Amino acid sequence: MLKSFRTPSRRYSRFAQGFTLIEALIALAVVSCLLGAIESVVANSVLGARAIEQHLAMVQMARRLLVSRARFTDSLGTTTGETEGLVWKVAAAPFLKDDQTTTLIPIKLRIEVRAPNGGSFYLETIRLKHEPKN
């Protein structure tokens, strides 16, 4: 009597066979969409941080110009310059008409700071200039 030496058939379950090609492609598509969304969020936050940094630099420049007010209130008119890559302009004009009843004369200062990429910052304020009576 001959016995057949057949190997027992292996029955694989569907999960033991692995992923199908369609399942792998869908997983790759989902991962690529998620990575694209993450990249756009990171890019927007970097651009926002740069804009805030530039705005802060312009505000600091305007404050520095405002601190050196004696230079601008002594002579009326417009003064321009460039510092640290920022172009600035300070315009000083009398705030009131010729009213010589006080020793303090209000001077209107308008400070404009422009960045190389086109961003700008404006600051208007009133400073008092001490003028001795004649």
Domain boundaries, the chain: 20-130
- How far apart (Å, rounded) are the C-alpha atoms in residues 38 and 56? 27
Whether the per-residue pLDDT at 10 is higher than 60: the answer is: no
Model confidence pLDDT, tens digit, residues 44-70:
999 999 889 999 999 999 998 888 766
Which CATH topology does 20-130 take?
S-adenosyl-L-methionine-dependent methyltransferases (2.20.130)
Please tell me the total number of residues recorded for the chain in this structure.
134
Are 90 and 74 spatial neighbours (Cβ–Cβ below 8 Å)? Answer: no
Model confidence pLDDT, tens digit, residues 110-127:
999 999 888 899 999 888
For residue 55, give both structure tokens: 């705005």
In whole angstroms, how far apart are CA 103 and each of 94, 107, 128? 14, 13, 10
